[in-house]
Structure 1
């Protein structure tokens, strides 16, 4: 089965209790009410407490804004697999699965959003930006992350305060 990224990608469909239904959904089509899919947001923090952000390409939604890595789980992916794949696709980085933890999840109308935190060091020189997706990368500390959000330069993450509060505990 071809589940590749992009407009033709396929997702597993879940019920409201996060059980797979055995059905697949094609990206871009409306999900019927009561059907869900999984999206991951992957925050990467280095040993200096800095978060890795990438800059969205100018031709994407939220053009030229800073973001964490994320995307949809493809058919057959679990949440961790999706997190590892998305980071590799968008940055060229290979995460160590043992260095990551799903720190919380929330549900939107049709999506289970899993928020991951990986504690791992990378150099900005290690990053290979995905053409058409990302056009820059940087590290920021939590105060800079909040400031980017306040200035409207960060993709809106309604859970940002919760994330930073949970991590600092």
Structure 2
């Protein structure tokens, strides 16, 4: 079955280590077989001034109007890195070469393994949000990300991920030419 076969999108099933099991699962079915996972890929896009791209979820999605980083499920046959680049393009209109995405870490969640990548952009880019997915996008400082995190303005899954990878996020911002450590 292809990633966009009859009935919508399909995911590769993996084990807890992210190894593909040679089986797919329709996205429309929320019940993954016990002990299996699917891959979600997210990108921290860091501008040359050290600001981070955040997106506000569309009002029609779960966690409506809450903030997150561009992310989405890897489709069947797609690598995590390719999915991260695709989602950044789809949700923010920012095209990057998947080879430029640097892995940050993986969050093990109930039915998904969330791979987080960082990409440092050489130039400021105006995001073009995809209205079905994103209500708004903006470039913010690490301090603003932290304020929204403390005020629980990020979608609940992102609150946990930010807690888990806060030091890595701060390091990614500091690595930008105009980034500031915090």
* Shared fold (TM-score, shorter chain, > 0.5): yes
Structure 1 residue runs of 4+, over 4 Å off?
A: none
Count matched residues. 166
TM-score normalized by structure 2? 0.83
Deviation at 1:131, TM superposition (A): 2.2
Cα distance in 1 for partners of 2:145, 2:155 equals 11
Other-structure match for 2:61: 60
Cα distance in 2 for partners of 1:64, 1:138 equals 13
Deviation at 1:132, TM superposition (A): 1.4
User: Is 1:50 matched up with 2:54?
Assistant: no
Q: How does 1:97-112 map to 2 (within 5 A)?
A: 97-112=98-113
Other-structure match for 1:163: 165
In structure 1, the gaps of 5 or more residues are none
- Contact map agreement 1:10 1:74 (CA 8 A) in 2: yes
In terms of mean alpha carbon deviation, does 68-77 or 133-142 score higher? 133-142
- Contact map agreement 2:53 2:138 (CA 8 A) in 1: yes
Cα distance in 2 for partners of 1:34, 1:69 equals 26
Given the superposition, is the C-alpha separation of residues 15 and 93 from structure 1 closer, same or farther in structure 2, using an over 3 Å criterion? same
TM-score normalized by structure 1? 0.89
Other-structure match for 1:88: 89
Cα distance in 1 for partners of 2:36, 2:163 equals 28
Other-structure match for 1:118: 119
In structure 2, the gaps of 5 or more residues are 172-182
Superposed CA RMSD in Å reads: 1.9
